[in-house]
Amino acid sequence: MEAPPGGVDDMTRLSYLHEPGVLQNLATRYELNEIYTYTGSILIAVNPFQRLPHLYDTHMMEQYKGADFGELSPHVFAIADVAYREMINEGKNNSILVSGESGAGKTETTKMLMRYLAHLGGRSGVEGRTVEQQVLEAKSSP
Ligand SMILES: Nc1ncnc2c1ncn2[C@@H]1O[C@H](COP(=O)(O)OP(=O)(O)OP(=O)(O)O)[C@@H](O)[C@H]1O
């Protein structure tokens, strides 16, 4: 079966799951500014080396909130959402592993994960500050 022109958003849908196929798919999607691709439940992020603010705004966060995994385009928010929901439903700690070579975008990705988790954490502010502000301030303090 021919791969669709825009690539596939989950590598497990590739007809041939080998290195050239994977790289071709990532390159095709990257050309379209689609920097996220799944391989099953794993998210692959390709550094866009440019700001893509529409990908991370509040509207986007709201869309991913509670959405079934795989229902929307691959996104770091979808990973955070599943991790958060599993934590709540099972009452257990959860972790998200972010790995990649130097400069791949781990810090940026982690910032987005934290922003999303802080957003989910609600708006019940302590001393007038939102959970999001508290988490992000804690991260940036020495
Ligand atoms: N999702 C993204 N959107 C926009 N720019 C990004 C994104 N991810 C990475 N970048 C750009 O790439 C640069 C390097 O990314 P980052 O610092 O996150 O890499 P890193 O994997 O943490 O590197 P190191 O391991 O060396 O600390 C960022 O400063 C930013 O300019």
- Quote the ligand 1 centre to 22 CA distance (angstroms): 22
Q: Other CB atoms closer than 10 Å to residue 103's CB: what's the count?
A: 9
Cα 142 to Cα 139: distance, rounded to the nearest angstrom: 8
Domain membership of residue 47 (yes or no) is yes
How many structural domains comprise the chain? 1
The reported pTM is 0.88
Domain membership of residue 3 (yes or no) is no
- Quote the ligand 1 centre to 44 CA distance (angstroms): 14
Domain membership of residue 68 (yes or no) is yes
Residue 48, domain extent: 11-140
Domain membership of residue 62 (yes or no) is yes
Domain membership of residue 6 (yes or no) is no
Domain membership of residue 84 (yes or no) is yes
Tokens 């079966």 correspond to 1
Closest C-alpha among 54, 53, 36 to residue 45? 36
Nearest ligand 1 atom to alpha carbon 45: 1
106 assigned to a ligand binding site: yes
> Residues 52-109: pLDDT tens digits?
999 999 999 999 999 999 999 999 999 999 999 999 999 999 999 999 999 999 999 9
Give the bridge partners for 43, in sequence order. 38
End-to-end CA separation in angstroms for the chain: 53
Domain membership of residue 4 (yes or no) is no
Domain membership of residue 5 (yes or no) is no
- Tokens representing 133 are 């502000």
Q: Which residues line ligand 1 (CB under 6 A)?
A: 47-49, 51-52, 100, 102-108
Q: Could you give the ipTM of this predicted complex?
A: 0.97
Cα 63 to Cα 96: distance, rounded to the nearest angstrom: 20
What CATH number is given to the structural domain containing 103?
3.40.850.10
Q: Other CB atoms closer than 10 Å to residue 39's CB: what's the count?
A: 16
Question: What residue's CA is closest to ligand 1, atom 26?
Answer: 102
